[in-house]
Copies of this chain bind each other. A is one copy, B any other.
């Protein structure tokens, strides 16, 4: 089946969860609603017409290392060329470097579309954007001038080189080295693993951002610097120069995203790759942390994307596949399985979870925009704190539900779902990387509890809980019969989140292990509350418009009555589960 971009659902999230209209009205973002819709519609066409047809073939062919060169699947290079030519790689970039200066909210909506249509492809611009962000924010004028225009134009792609075999989550122990040269450049040596699009022949150059240590660097995370290492050197006139000392030494054989080459990269096998410092010496991790929020949000959006795609395919199958008697069956005829109550529960769960995660990611992108663009510095700071708080939720909740929804999608297909040619299994395989990369979801949960709850003495989370509660009050006050028990369930959920938050804030200083033991169920609880609240705001807006029955009211009500019901139990697990989590000896 063909992918169709969910333009209405995306616009609904932008309008009702993220309040884009108010930001346009007060001039925080300089665009208008028609432009936003037009961009999303055009992106939808590109995704459906160019990227979607390559998704399955790309999975089956995969990217391969042949004679030291990575070969991407058939059609990949041409598609990437069209992507760059269409300006799709430059949506959120500075206009100064050739970008289109669109808000993060809109850029993330487009990113959802690339990744729904073809996640193996979507990773390439995702990583390139990360590299652009780093150079834009911290690069010298030389680096910006030399590299940014072609990266923004999509003529060159970018990579992020963090992980080493022994240092994945704990970057403090990485060993790659960099030594300063007389000309101000650095010689970089070391091996990096899990490097997405570390090599390919789609573009004439690849710009690697590499974490490494200087010889005299302090140990741990305070001794890490960030370097830009191009695959090919760049001549003074901007033309491509000689090959730098960096090679792809292997491509991983993975569960999913087969088309996206996951490379082992070797820097300096012939003496040292030429690199340029980005930011200050020994401050590389700070540069990375600044970009990390955007990258984590982008991965959360991939979770939304794969959930959307899996839902579309399952819904289409459920409308066509006939098994058993249903409401519309005549005589002994079988009816479409979409009419079975249990199949409906799965489909409603898939739709509601997807729209909830989309709303969380859209709000996070909105706050990113406000944190950068608002005129009032107090508003910028407050928004930056919201981004910090919501980012781990956007990343982990959305990618967890990406996996769950993809699994439900397989299930709805029955035996056909297990057959690769059906396509549902690819989403199940592709989705599985999302809770792992860009900081595992366990690390997101720890980040939420240990670093984000204490922000500003707890006032950041307190303010957000207050906003959530306000929505609960609005829902209850609206007193609409079509809302069912949404107000009651959502209130129970936000109360549970508030109680779990209070417990964690109290426990964290005295017994951090007990707090960490509750981090994962707490993050899930946070996601359910945020998702339920944002969907409820959408329901309230739809009700105010009053144009008859709205799918957004139906989804919000379903979410509250069927999914936020897990909230009180999650709270109990957070508050009462630590002792038994930590009790049994598991070490060898």
Contacts and interface: CB of A to CB of B under 8 A. Distances in A.
A115 to B, nearest CB: 17
Contacts of A520: 342, 345-346
Contacts of A570: 565-566
A255 B409 CA distance: 14
A446 interface: yes
A332 interface: yes
Which among A328, A345, A417 has the highest number of chain B CB atoms within 10 Å?
A: A345
Nearest to A551: B584
A419 interface: yes
A17 interface: no
A168 B554 CA distance: 31
Interface string A53-94: 000000000000000000000000000000000000000000
A223 to B, nearest CB: 11
Interface in A393-412: 403, 407, 410-411
Interface string A156-182: 000000010011111011000000000
A348 interface: yes
Interface in A439-472: 440-442, 445-446
Contacts of A555: 584
A562 interface: yes
Nearest to A410: B432
B432 A334 contact: no
A19 interface: no
A7 interface: no
Nearest to A587: B338
A340 B573 contact: no
B418 A580 contact: no
A169 to B, nearest CB: 5
Contacts of A441: 411
Interface in A185-228: 193-194, 219-220
Contacts of A328: 587
Which among A172, A520, A573 has the highest number of chain B CB atoms within 10 Å?
A: A573
A387 B516 CA distance: 41
Interface string A550-564: 010011011001110
A421 B346 CA distance: 33
A469 to B, nearest CB: 20
A437 interface: yes
B169 A587 contact: no
A428 interface: yes
Interface in A544-588: 551, 554-555, 557-558, 561-563, 565-570, 572-573, 576-584, 586-588
Contacts of A378: none
A553 to B, nearest CB: 9
A254 interface: yes
A485 B577 CA distance: 9
A521 B348 CA distance: 14
A414 to B, nearest CB: 5
Given A324-B169, A411-B441, A584-B558, A332 B419 contact: no
A584 B348 contact: yes
A340 B513 CA distance: 8
Nearest to A433: B418
A343 interface: yes
A345 B517 contact: yes
Contacts of A514: 341
Contacts of A255: 410, 418-420, 425, 428-429
A243 interface: no
Interface in A310-360: 315, 318-319, 322-324, 328, 332, 334, 336, 338-348
B581 A419 contact: no
Interface in A128-176: 163, 166-170, 172-173
A527 interface: no
Which among A315, A323, A339, A581 has the highest number of chain B CB atoms within 10 Å?
A: A581
Interface in A254-269: 254-256
Contacts of A588: 319, 338
B573 A565 contact: yes
A375 interface: no
A586 B338 contact: yes
Nearest to A492: B572
Contacts of A332: 172, 219-220
Which 6 residue pairs spanning A and B have beta carbons closest together?
A: A341-B516, A554-B584, A562-B577, A255-B425, A565-B569, A558-B580
9 contacts: A252-B419, A344-B517, A410-B436, A411-B436, A414-B440, A415-B437, A418-B436, A484-B579, A489-B572
